[in-house]
Amino acid sequence: MRYVDRPAAGRRLAEALGPWTDEGTLVVALPRGGVPVGHEVARALKIPLAALPARKLGAPGRPEFAVGALAGYESPAVALDNEALQSLGVTPDYVAEEIARQRARLAESVARFAPPGERPVLRGRQIILVDDGVATGATLRAALTFLEAQGAPPVVLALPVGPRDTLRKLRPLVRALLCPWIPHPFYAVGDHYENFDPVPDDEVQALLRSPTVPAVPFPVPSH
Look up the pTM and report it.
0.94
Domain hosting residue 25, numbered range: 6-52+117-208
Q: Give the total number of structural domains in the chain.
A: 1
Output the tens digit of pLDDT for each of the chain's 223 residues: 899 999 999 999 999 999 999 888 999 999 999 999 999 999 999 999 999 999 999 999 998 888 999 999 989 999 999 999 999 999 999 999 999 999 999 999 999 999 988 888 899 999 999 999 999 999 999 999 999 999 999 999 999 999 999 999 999 999 999 999 999 999 999 999 999 999 999 999 999 999 999 888 666 444 3
What local confidence, expressed as pLDDT, does residue 81 receive? 92
Q: Does a structural domain hold residue 111?
A: no
Burial grade of 193 (CB within 10 A; 0-12, 13-18, 19 or more)? buried
Which phi and psi (to 5°) does residue 41 adopt? -65, -50
Strand pairing partners for 153? none
CATH number at residue 26: 3.40.50.2020
Q: Does a structural domain hold residue 79?
A: no
Amino acid at 54: A
Torsion-angle region of 133 (φ positive above 0: left; ψ -120 to 50: alpha; else: beta): left
* Residues whose CB falls within 8 Å of the CB of residue 213, separated by 6 or more in sequence, listed in order: 39, 42, 43, 46, 47, 48, 49
